[in-house]
Amino acid sequence: MQKKIIAIIGGPGTGKTTLINGLITKGFCCYPEISREIILDAQKKGIDQLFLEEPLLFSELLLEGRKKQYEDAIQEPNEIVFIDRGLPDVLGYLHYVNQEYPTSFATACRENRYSSVFILPPWKEIYVSDQARYETYEQAIAIHQHIIKTYSDFDYNPIEVPKDTVENRIQFILEAI
């Protein structure tokens, strides 16, 4: 079987981390979302929202972290690796704030391709803002649309995961791969 590196994507607050945690519980190899680490590290240094204050710096850190995750996933002995967000997410957020970026960002997205991409749709009933998630639900919907377009621009056709229990969402993904 060929290695499958699968990105779980979507706007903020759609249940990605909960889904990844469910996959971990079932014994799958999963890589967590890394933006929260970058946000909390910046907050320790007195920068409340690094993405809002320095979107390009934040995105460079995120892109490098996600490239490393992808490279690490290739080396994993597991045949299937799930990753909470992919490289094109970085560009989707930059498009959302209308921020230009170096061509190296798009090159990284073209060079590090996922086997499959599953997208979790906005879901108002589970959406919660917190210390690292500052967006309103309406902003989350807009970000979601930018993420879909960005993945489409890189010739992905994300499979939408229905709003359902974590168990049923996991089953949907496993049946689709």
State the CATH number of the domain containing residue 27.
Answer: 3.40.50.300
**How many independent structural domains does the chain possess?**
1
3-state percent helix, strand, coil for the chain, nearest multiple of 5: 55, 10, 35
Cα Dmax for the chain: 47
Q: pTM for the full model?
A: 0.90
Structural domain including 12 reads: 4-176
Digit-by-digit pLDDT tens for the chain (177 residues) are 689 999 999 988 889 999 999 999 999 999 999 887 887 788 888 877 777 778 888 899 899 999 999 999 999 999 999 999 999 999 999 999 999 999 999 999 999 999 999 999 988 777 676 655 567 778 889 999 999 999 999 999 999 999 999 999 999 999 999
